[in-house]
Amino acid sequence: MDIAQLIFIFTISAFLGLELIAKIPSQLQTPLMSGSNAISGITIVGAMLATTASGIDPTIVRVLGLVAVILATINVVGGYVVTDRMLAMFKKKEGK
């Protein structure tokens, strides 16, 4: 894709992110941090692409990719599960 288009996407996303959480109650700040931390594990997609053998890549690319896949998966899966555990507690109390 055109470099200018990538930068354009980046810019729009940056401003969107700023708008998304203008106001946030303090008890949700930790879950929000944890939940958005899980999203930053999106780098798993890049790790998967690096790990995929194209036939021309040396082993080191795949090894780096594999380690990245493991680390990013921990980030993604762990992040979502931990966030859900935290939020489940708020839910329980609201039901009353």
Partner 1 sequence: MTSLPSNDALAVMQGICGLSIKWIDFAYIVASIFFIFGIKMLGKVHTARRGNMVSSIGMLIAVLATALYVGIDYTWILAGIVVGSAIGVIAAKRVAMTAMPEMVALFNGFGGLASLLVGWAEYERIMHFPVAEGGDRWAAYLAHAQTEYYFINIVTWLTIWIGGITFTGSMLAYLKLAGKVSGSPVVFKGQKIINALVAGAMILAIVPQCLIVDPSASYFAVVATIVLSLAIGILGVLPIGGGDMPVIISLLNSFSGLAAAAAGFVIGNTVLIVAGCLVGSSGFILTLIMCKAMNRNLYNVLFSGFGAADQTGAKVEGEMKGISVEDAYYVLEAARSVVIIPGYGMAVAQAQHAVKELATRLEENGAEVRYAIHPVAGRMPGHMNVLLAEANVPYEQLVPMDEINASMETVDVALVIGANDVVNPAAVNDPTSPIYGMPIIDAYKARSVFAIKRGKGAGFSGLVNTLYFLEKTRMIYGDAKAVVGELAAAFKEE
**Is residue 51 within 8 Å of residue 71, measured between CB atoms?**
no
Site residues (CB under 8 A) for partner 1, limited to 4-33: 6, 9-10, 13-18, 20-33
Site residues (CB under 8 A) for partner 1, limited to 42-71: 42-53, 56-58, 60-62, 64-71
- Contact between 94 and partner 1 (CB under 8 A)? yes
- Contact between 91 and partner 1 (CB under 8 A)? yes
**Is residue 62 within 8 Å of residue 53, measured between CB atoms?**
yes
**Is residue 90 within 8 Å of residue 26, measured between CB atoms?**
no
- Contact between 37 and partner 1 (CB under 8 A)? yes
**Is residue 74 within 8 Å of residue 11, measured between CB atoms?**
no
Min CB(94)–partner 1 separation in Å: 7
